Chain A
Amino acid sequence: MSSIITLEPADYMTVAMARLIQDGERIFHGVASPMPAVAIQLAKKHHAKKAVYLSIAGTADAVPTEFSRHTTAGANLREGAVSEFLLSDIFDLSARGGLDVAFLSGAQIDEYGRLNLSAIGSFQQPKVRLPGGAGSAALLPTVKRAILWKTTHDTRSLVEKLDVITAAGNTEYVITPLAIFKRGKQGKLQLYSIFPESSFDEIVEKTGFKVEKHPQYHVFEPITEREWELLLEIDKNGSRFSEFR
């Protein structure tokens, strides 16, 4: 990687997501998921050619030629698909044990990788009413491994206690602009890797739950030339930045 380019958190996060995808896996993302959408194509072009792409746009194995910055449920995500595969099919696939990876996010994530997408404050009288859990409470417990992401890393988003437990289940990784957590002993998230611009102390300070290093803790491998080329080629519109203001 050339050192002249300033990499953004979205670059690290997208590459990190791609690297966690294994060849042959069936992978799903929902709405408002620009980084996972790009990451899946990156993985497919890089090391996971036989990964199967399932999206909320309702098809299997689409090969989008373009990613928009305005929607991740649009018709562009249906280009080149081989089959209709609706959201309802994805829930069924997951329920019967055929979905390998789901990318999910939430307003709050706790140390068990559980999600709050419902409310800040109480459910009945919320201080902030959140979007709603969408498919997360159905997918998180049934998918083999969930990769969560958060575009902010602070004590408000990575919390000790969720205000509402919208979804719980098989969270394996959590990716933030600063780091990657992986589920470890007693089902708790542990620090798996740190992105170059951050530090262990910063992670501890900005995380609401207790931070321990995962046995597989390592320094995040620099983005390779090949990954960078593919990232720019796949995401020429910069849709990966659209979740960041």
Chain B
Amino acid sequence: MTTVKENTFLYGWEHPDKMREYRKNNKSMAKKDKRTTLKEAVARGVKEGDYIVFGGMGSVRNPIAAVHEIIRQGIGNLTIGTKGSQHDWQLLAAAGNVTNAEVSYGFADEVRGLSLPARRAVESGRLKVLSETTNAAFQWRFTAAAKGLPFYPTRSSLGTDTLTYSGSKTIIDPFTKEPIELLPACYPDVAIIHVHRADKYGNCQIDGNIAEDIEIAHAAKFVIITAEQIVPDEVIESDPAQTKIPYFTVDAVVEVPYGSHPNQVPRLYSFDEDHWQEWLDASITEETTEEYLDKYIYSSNDFYDYLEKIGGVRVLRQLENIEKKLAPYPTVARRRG
């Protein structure tokens, strides 16, 4: 078969048979109590140099608590697949834990503006953008991995630099006799997904947009679930259709209430605009970014400690009320200066 475009940007790819072997040797599918602490889950699952993807969509349902823990443990040289994630990986970039990224959407906070720490990291050379890809490509790369395939074919990105700077190869499709892009499967080392509720085995229920969370749970080598709530088995059994991720894909389950703060978990709590403003202001210079990380992450024992620092129950209840529309939405935080 003719290969039209070769590539030098291949990351996250594995031979499907190697992954079958890996799962056989390393992935327990047993139904057992997987509850643990965030500290232990991160220490066990996240290694220096790993390729990580985060669940959620945009600024919604991001595993911020797990990100704090990675920063606190100083696990470095990470590669992040920024399939649409923002504040999660940007905190890691600000703290210097990330040295590489495959980017679909990653350097902005939607309407709040461009993310300065992640940009500074790239523009100064501390962080390398390995390749550019699309949300669709990430979706399909995880889909290929979930299906045990080496690649996923698509006709979409031909004629762009997104294709040039991606891990894709272009061949002549033997059916149409036309060029077709082959997206390499992506098997992340770790997927970290924040969900509304899970049982102790790791059966996960997500309300609202599930994004690519199902695919990354099936594609990743190690899956950490942080849940707003660990629920009794009956809650899951009474509504199995709502269970999006089954227990046998999951390696660790941690209960982390408000684990997405300062971002939103639909139906539970809203964005913390005051804290967002503090972060946006702090992230303008290297010094103030460092002060923010010191104050809220390095000097916190755990995420509960952080939640006290951002205002504790008083603030968190207010964010719940805003989400339920029992309180007005506050002024939206914006990049200043």
A73 B60 Cβ-Cβ under 8 A: yes
Interface locus among B28-36, B153-161, B246-254, B301-309: B153-161
Interface locus among B17-25, B115-123, B287-295, B312-320: B115-123
Asked whether any CB of chain B lies closer than 8 Å to the CB of A242, the reply is yes
| B104-116 Cβ-contact flags toward A at 8 Å (1 or 0) | 1111101110100
Asked whether any CB of chain B lies closer than 8 Å to the CB of A87, the reply is yes
B107 A129 Cβ-Cβ under 8 A: yes
Asked whether any CB of chain B lies closer than 8 Å to the CB of A95, the reply is yes
On chain B, the residues within 8 Å of A127 by CB distance are 123
- Cα separation A58 to B280 with both chains bound (whole Å): 28
Main secondary structure of the interface of A (DSSP, over half): loop
- Cα separation A86 to B213 with both chains bound (whole Å): 11
Asked whether any CB of chain A lies closer than 8 Å to the CB of B211, the reply is yes
On chain A, the residues within 8 Å of B162 by CB distance are 118, 133, 137, 165-167
Most chain A Cβ neighbours within 10 Å, of B135, B165, B215: B135
Asked whether any CB of chain A lies closer than 8 Å to the CB of B136, the reply is yes
The answer to whether A118 and B161 touch (CB under 8 A), given A91-B139, A134-B104, A137-B134, is: yes
- Cα separation A145 to B20 with both chains bound (whole Å): 42
- Chain B interface size, under 10 / 10 to 19 / 20 to 34 / 35 or more: 35 or more
B271 A128 Cβ-Cβ under 8 A: no
On chain B, the residues within 8 Å of A204 by CB distance are none
Asked whether any CB of chain B lies closer than 8 Å to the CB of A31, the reply is yes
B135 A69 Cβ-Cβ under 8 A: no
B161 A164 Cβ-Cβ under 8 A: yes
Tell me the nearest residue of chain A to B264, going by C-beta: A74
B208 A242 Cβ-Cβ under 8 A: no
- Cα separation A18 to B281 with both chains bound (whole Å): 36
Per the 8 Å Cβ criterion, residues 51-87 of A in contact with B are 56-58, 68-75, 78, 86-87
- Cα separation A141 to B158 with both chains bound (whole Å): 8
Partner pick for A141 among B59, B106, B159, B165, CB 8 A cutoff: B159
Asked whether any CB of chain B lies closer than 8 Å to the CB of A7, the reply is no
- Cα separation A157 to B251 with both chains bound (whole Å): 47
Partner pick for A73 among B110, B132, B156, B212, CB 8 A cutoff: B110
B136 A88 Cβ-Cβ under 8 A: yes
| A125-158 Cβ-contact flags toward B at 8 Å (1 or 0) | 1111111111111110110000000000000000
B208 A118 Cβ-Cβ under 8 A: no
Tell me the nearest residue of chain A to B131, going by C-beta: A123
On chain A, the residues within 8 Å of B125 by CB distance are 125
On chain A, the residues within 8 Å of B271 by CB distance are 70-71
B132 A132 Cβ-Cβ under 8 A: yes
B122 A126 Cβ-Cβ under 8 A: yes
Starting from the known contacts A126-B123, A137-B163, A245-B334, 20 additional A-B residue pairs (CB-CB under 8 Å) come to: A31-B105, A32-B110, A58-B210, A70-B271, A70-B329, A70-B332, A71-B59, A71-B60, A71-B111, A71-B264, A72-B111, A73-B57, A75-B209, A86-B210, A87-B211, A91-B139, A126-B129, A137-B160, A138-B156, A141-B156
A interface, CB within 8 angstroms of B: 31-32, 34, 56-58, 68-75, 78, 86-88, 91, 95, 114, 118-119, 123, 125-139, 141-142, 164-168, 237, 242-243, 245
6 CB contacts below 8 A, A to B, read A91-B156, A129-B123, A131-B106, A133-B105, A141-B159, A166-B132
